[in-house]
Amino acid sequence: MSSPDVAGILDQSKELDRLRKDQEEILLEINKMHKKLQTTPEVVEKPGDNSLSRLKMLYIQAKELSESEVAVSSQLLTQLDALIPSGPPGQQRRRMEGNEQKKKRMKADPDVPRLSPSLRNHLDHLASLKGEQVAARVTLEDADKDEWFIVKVIHFDRDTREFEVLDEEPGDDEEPAGQRKYKLPMSHIIPFPKRNDPSTAQDFQPGKHVLAVYPGTTALYKATVVNTRKRKTDDYLLEFDDDEEDGSLPQRNVPFHKVVTLPEGHRQ
């Protein structure tokens, strides 16, 4: 075995060691995200939270590192095969065929790396919203202001992480057909608390800014909480921005299940 051949193998071994250390660091980060989602799964429903995007990026990095490890390992095998004397007829071919079959199985598996149980549970929850009403931002990212309406969930696509929703009561300026469909990302959807389960609702304190359905409409606007509720089933008393009458803001009752967290960076 010549020195250059040995040096090449050692270089590849060092690269393999580096890749594995990088994978260990990524795995630690993934485990931290898993723990966060397991202990506080509701965090992904908060507008502006990037936990799922961060987790997706870590999965992508882990996949790329894994593929690089396979490539370096294959190169090492090739170098070693070239230096090791051939065995009985057919042995070398069987070893190479075995490696190729392993690669094919890895490429054919679409679930590597697989979704964590907490992420699967969250996606299951989003898929279970089918048929329910949610708050949806139907304006584009670069719009001058954000417009939120009550819409009905038609479908949630797990692959694209997109919702298909139906605006059942569009405004008078909409097309004659009456109802409009939208495809929206997860960040544009906020589930309402369940009417028959007050424990799913947040308890907003007086002075807190929220997003709420304006009485008599299907539109949501920024409002400020006025009252301290005695029971979780009580209505909120709210003052809506830009709702001035005779120089003051009227206080309006809104059911708890029509009030959600105000998204970060809300424009109006």
- Asked if 192 and 212 touch (Cβ cutoff 8 Å), the reply is no
How confident is the model at residue 3, as a pLDDT?
59
Q: Kind and range of the H or E element at 28?
A: helix 3-39
Take residue 145 and report the two structure tokens written for it: 């202001």
- Asked if 259 and 43 touch (Cβ cutoff 8 Å), the reply is no
Could you give the CA distance from residue 136 to residue 163 in angstroms, rounded to a whole number? 10
Q: 34-38 long-range CB contacts below 8 Å, 24 or more apart?
A: 34/116, 34/118, 37/116, 37/118, 37/119, 37/122, 38/117, 38/118
Sketch the domain layout of the chain as residue ranges. Answer: 7-41+52-80, 130-191, 198-261
Fold type of domain 130-191: SH3 type barrels. (2.30.30)
For residue range 232-261, list pLDDT tens digits in order: 899 999 999 988 877 888 999 999 999 999
CATH class of 198-261: mainly beta
Whether the full predicted model's pTM is greater than 0.85, yes or no, is no
Q: What backbone phi and psi angles, to 5 degrees, belong to 236?
A: -90, 145
- Asked if 43 and 51 touch (Cβ cutoff 8 Å), the reply is yes
Taken in order 203, 39, 35, 189, the sign of the CA dihedral is negative
How does DSSP classify residue 181?
E
For residue range 92-107, list pLDDT tens digits in order: 445 555 555 555 554 4
